[in-house]
Structure 1
Amino acid sequence: MADAPIAITGCTGRLGGRIARRLAARGIPLRLIARDAKRAPALPGAEVRVATYQDRDAMARALEGTQTALFVSATESPHRLEEHFAFIETAAAVGIETLVYTSFYGAAPDATFTFARDHWATEQKLREQRFASVMLRDNLYLDFLPMMVGEDDIIRGPAGNGRVAAVAQDDIADVATAVLLNPGAHRGQTYSLTGPQSLSFDDIAAVLSRRLGRSIRYYAESIDEAYRSRAKYRAEPWQVDAWVSTYTAVAEGELSDVTTDVERTSGHAPMGLDTLPLHSASSTSS
């Protein structure tokens, strides 16, 4: 099916929406899959189907007639893996040929960042299928770093002196677009996507101070302090564990290494915090 549309999940989010807009601008037919059709972007050459990962019948209908799909990880929840596995099994049942999955940097069963373990389990499930998969292991979103600054202009977290090679969502979108346009050249690959440099939180505070025109600093919390300072949000324990382990993964050095995968796949160097458009903030990569 030469003119088969590319299926795009997560199209209402910041990353999936970026990828969908890039593909639409190239005249690629798209199948946008969303929970709510009204929230899907209005793009030329795109049709919208309503489905959730766990609604296998609706998802099968949504994927019907497609060969390549972008699989954006589900919203953080205790049932995330169930959703992922249901979607993967549905994709396999309808004959998808390539799934491009937005994973997390350093995904492993013993990763410090709790959600990186879910991503590893999802990757393992993908590798068990007959179809091909491409793993895009995104480092922490560069776009998220400005949102770590508190109202008192302090970044608080138990990251110690660790460093993070955060990557911009625009660069991830460029990589995903390149892969989706030519999936045959990337099948079976795992790309670890980072920015151009590894920054400590003192470095991040210094760059943001310069760019925002005010004094921002980093306070290295202890782990106990981190849990206490986040108690005011009254979040579920699994969510607080994820928030805290974002920083402890940095402290352990698990997000520090810089790769060239963005440039190799997209054709351009990734942007750094000094050039990131600061209006493009978003939630954490997960």
Structure 2
Amino acid sequence: MPIIAVTGATGKIGGMVVDLLRARGLSPRLLVRDASRAPQWADDVAVAEYGDRPAVRAALEGVDALLMVSAAESEDRLEQHRAFIAEAAAAGVRHVVYTSFLAASPRATFTLSRTHWHTEQALRDSGMAFTFLRDSFYADFFIELAAEGAITGPAGQGRVAAVARDDVAACAAAVLLDLASGKGDHAGAAYDLTGPEAFTMAQAAQIISEVTGRPVTYHEETVEEAYASRAHYGAADWEVEAWVSTYTAIASGELSAVSDDVERLTGRQPLSLADVLRQRSGSR
């Protein structure tokens, strides 16, 4: 049986993938930053941060297939990714499944999408087989944005086909299960992971209001207003630019495409924003 490893195994996506693999009888190696957060049942745990080359090399020895969940957002995330990829290749990893971003491009409006594109290029050049899961913004993210009653930003009337975290995890698990069983190699494939529909921010606010019964509005800003309203956080320039470009990427239309790749990989329809809200509330 091939050895499967999952990075970010105590995080949201990685943790869900681990649970799905275990439910199908696999015992993946868990790569974590803090061993104390690893589940008690885990008997194959490796501690390695993305930029720690010796730790990564040791953690990935003997691994055949690897889920590389993108590192936490930071100014040096690309450097961390490149270091991790280099050590994965040196450790003999055969296949990397990477959580990328929809419409990743060096000129993408969403600034962090550019990092994903360069990471994809590093994987293409690594000599390892690769699969890209290019997920849209998470539907869960927009629910979190609306927690205080408003979604605020310069998204205009642009649409986004947001995808549920559950669906991203299910797709990652499906690919890894195929690799483990030899049923499909997925080598060189890039899957666009979206929800079933593209919605505007005004529609997102309306859906959240209708499902939860809690009033939510969309307040449209200009780009200048968006930067000004976020200035009080005192965040670094790269981070503020990422926050604002989340909305301008939606406004640009770059994230409006709806794909059937979730259904192709999992065999079921992707969850809508309303579905995710109902899941959270425990209702159907």
Normalising by structure 1, report the TM-score. Answer: 0.93
RMSD: 1.5
Q: Structure 2: how far apart are the matches of 1:205 and 1:127?
A: 39
Counterpart position of 1:125:
122
1:41-76 CA-to-partner distances (Å, cap 9, x unmatched) read: 3446x4111111121111111111110000011111
Once the two structures are TM-superposed, the CA of residue 249 in structure 1 deviates from its matched residue by 0.1
What amino acid does structure 1 have at the position aligned with 2:214? R
Counterpart position of 1:142:
139
Q: Structure 2: how far apart are the matches of 1:215 and 1:131?
A: 49
What amino acid does structure 2 have at the position aligned with 1:193? L
Counterpart position of 2:10:
12
Counterpart position of 2:151:
155
Q: Structure 2: how far apart are the matches of 1:25 and 1:38?
A: 23
Once the two structures are TM-superposed, the CA of residue 280 in structure 1 deviates from its matched residue by 5.3
Q: 2:176 aligns with which of 175, 180, 199?
A: 180
Once the two structures are TM-superposed, the CA of residue 150 in structure 1 deviates from its matched residue by 5.5
Structure 2, unmatched stretches of 5+, are none
What amino acid does structure 2 have at the position aligned with 1:139? S
Residue 105 of structure 2 contacts residue 114 of structure 2 at CA under 8 Å; is this kept in 1? yes
Residue 51 of structure 1 contacts residue 59 of structure 1 at CA under 8 Å; is this kept in 2? yes
Q: Structure 1: how far apart are the matches of 2:13 and 2:77?
A: 18
Residue 52 of structure 1 contacts residue 59 of structure 1 at CA under 8 Å; is this kept in 2? yes
Once the two structures are TM-superposed, the CA of residue 227 in structure 1 deviates from its matched residue by 0.8
Counterpart position of 2:67:
70
- Identity of aligned pairs, percent? 51
Report whether the alignment pairs 1:109 with 2:110.
Answer: no
1:190-224 CA-to-partner distances (Å, cap 9, x unmatched) read: 00100000001111111111111122111110001
Residue 211 of structure 2 contacts residue 277 of structure 2 at CA under 8 Å; is this kept in 1? no
Give secondary structure in 2 for the equivalent of 1:275.
helix
Task: Give 1:29-40 correspondences, 5 Å limit.
Answer: 29-40=27-38
Once the two structures are TM-superposed, the CA of residue 272 in structure 1 deviates from its matched residue by 0.2
Structure 1, unmatched stretches of 5+, are 282-286
What amino acid does structure 1 have at the position aligned with 2:27? P
Counterpart position of 1:249:
249
Once the two structures are TM-superposed, the CA of residue 185 in structure 1 deviates from its matched residue by 2.9
Q: Structure 2: how far apart are the matches of 1:58 and 1:278?
A: 41
Q: Bigger CA drift: 93-102 or 211-220?
A: 211-220
Q: Structure 2: how far apart are the matches of 1:96 and 1:215?
A: 49
Counterpart position of 1:284:
none
Once the two structures are TM-superposed, the CA of residue 277 in structure 1 deviates from its matched residue by 4.0
The size of the alignment, in residue pairs, is 277
Q: Structure 2: how far apart are the matches of 1:245 and 1:71?
A: 24
What amino acid does structure 1 have at the position aligned with 2:126? Q
Q: Structure 1: how far apart are the matches of 2:240 and 2:157?
A: 21
| More helix by percentage | 2
Once the two structures are TM-superposed, the CA of residue 130 in structure 1 deviates from its matched residue by 1.4
Counterpart position of 2:92:
95
Give secondary structure in 1 for the equivalent of 2:276.
coil
1:71-100 CA-to-partner distances (Å, cap 9, x unmatched) read: 011111111111100110011111111000
What amino acid does structure 1 have at the position aligned with 2:155? A
Q: Structure 2: how far apart are the matches of 1:217 and 1:36?
A: 39
Q: Structure 1: how far apart are the matches of 2:41 and 2:267?
A: 25
Q: Structure 1: how far apart are the matches of 2:280 and 2:44?
A: 26
Residue 51 of structure 2 contacts residue 83 of structure 2 at CA under 8 Å; is this kept in 1? yes
Normalising by structure 2, report the TM-score. Answer: 0.94
What amino acid does structure 2 have at the position aligned with 1:6? I
Q: Structure 2: how far apart are the matches of 1:154 and 1:50?
A: 39
Q: Structure 2: how far apart are the matches of 1:42 and 1:181?
A: 23
Give secondary structure in 2 for the equivalent of 1:255.
coil
Give secondary structure in 1 for the equivalent of 2:66.
strand
Give secondary structure in 1 for the equivalent of 2:197.
coil
Q: Structure 2: how far apart are the matches of 1:58 and 1:228?
A: 41
Counterpart position of 2:199:
199
Residue 208 of structure 2 contacts residue 277 of structure 2 at CA under 8 Å; is this kept in 1? no
